[in-house]
Chains A and B, each alone.
Chain A
């Protein structure tokens, strides 16, 4: 009996790994994440919206030329009624109507998306760069350097951002570059703290010890060994930080400290629309920029949540209904959610 078993065992040969080559080839961490993301309908719709938005902002001049209305052109005869009331959506070729000065709301929203994305993505990338570098050093070296950098981040986070931003913009005068700088200045500590926490757990891993045993330098360990394990975290929180920064830009523009009129930005469009009481009869030129802002913010938030699920499947939130995801994203997210550990394990 036992002899027979032994014979059977010997017959069983190791499976030829080449047979599975096709299947194996696609099992990289990123491909697996993409496969999971593709199953998430909410995230895919959001991704589609964001791609569309990026295309729209890239081809803004082309689109407005097709529409036939420049963003700053005032159509005093065609765009305003005799009594000076803006033309409603769909009239006289204005798809989303006109504003109080007879300008095409659609064209202005299209041009406004450029500002929103430029500031939102630009400030986020700057914040990401600063946050990852500072977080890496603070987390890897620990001790005194960590205390100094940690306190510095805490101080920045404890500032009333709006007040300080107003002061800085008032001192240097509003410009797009300054806007990006100010917004990233106050958002990088979020990334920095998250990265720091992640690095503290990563630096104890055996692969870091293995690198040390090989004689690798600190910089090499930080940027070759640890940094690749931060990409997932960085992608997720960058996606969640973009809408926060877009809203901050809109807020500053609303307060007159961001993008200056007549250049269109969603923030200053909303601000201009609600200065008079014209919006009580012509709701469209207040509502449509708001809708654009809300949809964009929502799309980035939902995509960020989907990315988190895809890159770290242990959260296993795929069972949550689409409706609940949207409701959850609607909760006003002025700050980033609490740092959640994103394990580096594939």
Chain B
């Protein structure tokens, strides 16, 4: 697969301009248990996440399903209101703005959605869908709108003559191109891609990723790229943030994370990436199999949220929550939230076997190649 190649090194590094600053953002969804239920339980989808993004950068956001990636994306783009915390876009706090005040900001902050079937209105023609950005934000003549829409279609690799077709007449990859064209229409500076390729065939994934990369260079775009496919994230990102149960557990430059991850969760995620080519297999670490399921975000574990599944967990982990900080020996910008970070060369799979034996939850499933 070509996407796994070392494209990341050739990517342009971000500039110094701070585009987005996310500060301790929290999103709790109340769980209603009926009129008589006064318990006020809440799904803690995002629970205190901070990061910042410079213009021109690509931040890869990874994590299991349900860890709050998509919710975080919708908080950043102000589609959901935050429970607490601040999101500053180009220095302006967008969390306190109402819809009317947000409107001009929408021009420079767009989103590409995961499902290329659900994100396009099935009853509207593509030309009409793509003219939406112009009719919402700009007052242009019909002919001008049509010209711009066809220009957009050509830019993302669609035939402008297909202006009058319905979304159902396009393939998944083509539809995702339409979604990208829509987000690109107003020349935004930030595009949040919520798993833009996970619904596509692998061969199409590469095309879409290359398109996104070309567009980034052409329009000086900043991306937040959400995915659960780590090889895809490695290909596109300058920086990676790993989420677990609503919190960031590790963040840092892409290669740094891939080569010397410090958080046991990151290490186990990376060990799960399949490698198709035999030649690369030898350099891989042993496989770390996590036991148990992701705990419920309604009632997350105490202390470090990863401790019930962590192969390195100790008594302290259940009591004290680790802060996201730079560990000794790491580069600047590589932050880890762990009391006992992984040291290079450490055999986590063995640790995993020990803990499972102690807890008595059946035989260890760790497999050494």
Q: Are A211 and B165 in contact (CB under 8 A)?
A: no
Query: Which residues of B (149-178) have their CB < 8 Å from a CB of A?
Result: 159, 162, 165-169
The range of chain B's interface size is 20 to 34
Complex Cα spacing A33 to B293, Å: 46
Which B residues are in CB contact (< 8 Å) with A220?
136
Q: Nearest residue in B to A218 (C-beta to C-beta)?
A: B99
Interface assignment of A345: CB less than 8 Å from any CB of chain B = yes
Interface assignment of A213: CB less than 8 Å from any CB of chain B = yes
Interface assignment of A3: CB less than 8 Å from any CB of chain B = no
Which B residues are in CB contact (< 8 Å) with A206?
113-115, 118-119
Interface assignment of A207: CB less than 8 Å from any CB of chain B = yes
Q: How far is the CB of B208 from chain A (nearest CB, A)?
A: 15
Interface assignment of A294: CB less than 8 Å from any CB of chain B = no
Interface assignment of B77: CB less than 8 Å from any CB of chain A = yes
Complex Cα spacing A58 to B43, Å: 62
Q: Are B132 and A29 in contact (CB under 8 A)?
A: no
Q: Which listed segment binds B: A146-154, A223-231, A234-242?
A: A223-231
Q: Are B122 and A213 in contact (CB under 8 A)?
A: no
Q: Are B119 and A216 in contact (CB under 8 A)?
A: no
Which A residues are in CB contact (< 8 Å) with B103?
215
Interface assignment of B353: CB less than 8 Å from any CB of chain A = no
Q: Are A229 and B121 in contact (CB under 8 A)?
A: yes
Bitwise, B114-148 to A at CB < 8 A (1) or not (0) is: 11011111111000000011001100000000000
Interface size on A, residues (CB 8 A): 26
Known A-B contacts A206-B119, A228-B121; A346 and B168 likewise in contact (beta carbons under 8 Å): yes
Known A-B contacts A28-B166, A346-B166, A346-B168; A212 and B79 likewise in contact (beta carbons under 8 Å): yes
Q: Identify which of B77, B123, B159, B168 gathers the most chain A CB atoms within 10 Å of its CB.
A: B123
Q: Are A344 and B122 in contact (CB under 8 A)?
A: yes
Q: How far is the CB of B87 from chain A (nearest CB, A)?
A: 15
Bitwise, B71-111 to A at CB < 8 A (1) or not (0) is: 00000010100000000000000000000001100110011
Which B residues are in CB contact (< 8 Å) with A346?
122-123, 166-168
Q: Are A228 and B113 in contact (CB under 8 A)?
A: no
Q: Are B119 and A344 in contact (CB under 8 A)?
A: no
Query: Which residues of A (35-58) have their CB < 8 Å from a CB of B?
Result: none
3 nearest A-B pairs in the assembled complex, by CB-CB distance: A215-B106, A228-B123, A206-B118
B residues in contact (CB < 8 Å) with A: 77, 79, 102-103, 106-107, 110-111, 113-115, 117-124, 132-133, 136-137, 159, 162, 165-169, 179, 182
